[in-house]
Amino acid sequence: MAIFAYLATFLTFAALVLQIFTLIGNTSNRSFLTDLYYARIDYGTAFYTFGLWSYCTGSGDTVSECSDPAAGYKITEIKEIGSLLNNTYDQLVFADFILYWIGFGLTFFALVITLCSHFRRFPDIVASICSFLAFVVMLASFAIMLVPVVALKRMDSVKESSVTIDEHFGPTVWMTLGAAVALLLSSLWYLISCCTGSGRRVHDTEKL
């Protein structure tokens, strides 16, 4: 049925948009971009926000500067908070970067293949598989994004520090979760579309 194919495509497109917002977050010291981060650490009067490409720092509600975008930047090299973390966090940042691009690629491929094939059955099966794989990847990325905040909250060194340290999740954490949910639903809708469709093009079916 055409409606299932349309719903799946819309959800795939929505997931792609959320992924794009996450990918461009924190890449430059611009008001919109600096609002897109997955974790924020308040260290005394200063704060640090983290994106997939880089981190930004500032005080109060003002961002003063952002690091140059780089794949797998080093959290441990940040002066104030680097000593609280170990190299495992640097590895997680790089792993999350790679996973996000894999998820983005699978989502983009699923959207393109179903649009270019005009919702034929076999391409929709491929799109369903790609969407589900993208869901798994995005879920893994979401889990990695939680690690810095959750880990710091449990560290004795943070609890005993003379400087007030606070941790928060950022908007792109929930965008990533939203993209994962949209991809899971789109995978199901693509599958339902394959099971209920006739295998012909959607626009041809609607003419009958």
Confidence of residue 4 (pLDDT cuts 50, 70, 90): confident
- Give φ, ψ of 197 to 5 degrees: -85, 170
* 182, burial (CB in 10 Å: exposed 0-12, middle 13-18, buried 19+): buried
pLDDT tens, position by position, 95-152: 999 999 999 999 999 999 888 876 677 888 899 999 999 999 999 999 998 887 787 7
Task: Write down the architecture of domain 2-197 according to CATH.
Answer: Up-down Bundle (1.20)
Indicate if the pLDDT at residue 87 is higher than 80. no
Q: Give me the residue label for tokens 């409606």.
A: 3
Angle, helices 87-116 vs 121-154, to 10°: value is 160
| Helical segments of 117-170, H only | 121-154, 156-159
Please answer whether residues 3 and 98 qualify as being in contact, where contact means their C-beta atoms are separated by less than 8 angstroms: no
User: Which residue pairs from 115-123 have beta carbons closer than 8 angstroms and sit at least 24 positions apart in sequence?
Assistant: 115/9, 118/201, 118/202, 118/203, 119/2, 119/5, 119/9, 119/193, 119/197, 119/201, 119/202, 120/199, 120/200, 120/201, 121/194, 121/197, 121/199
- Structure-token pair, residue 5: 């194919």
pTM score, whole prediction: 0.84
pLDDT tens, position by position, 25-45: 988 888 889 899 998 888 888
* 91, burial (CB in 10 Å: exposed 0-12, middle 13-18, buried 19+): exposed
- How far is 86 from 62, CA to CA, in rounded Å? 28
Going from N- to C-terminal start, the domains of the chain cover: 2-197
Lowest mean pLDDT among 54-63, 69-78, 91-100: 69-78
Looking at per-residue confidence, does 6 or 207 come out higher? 6
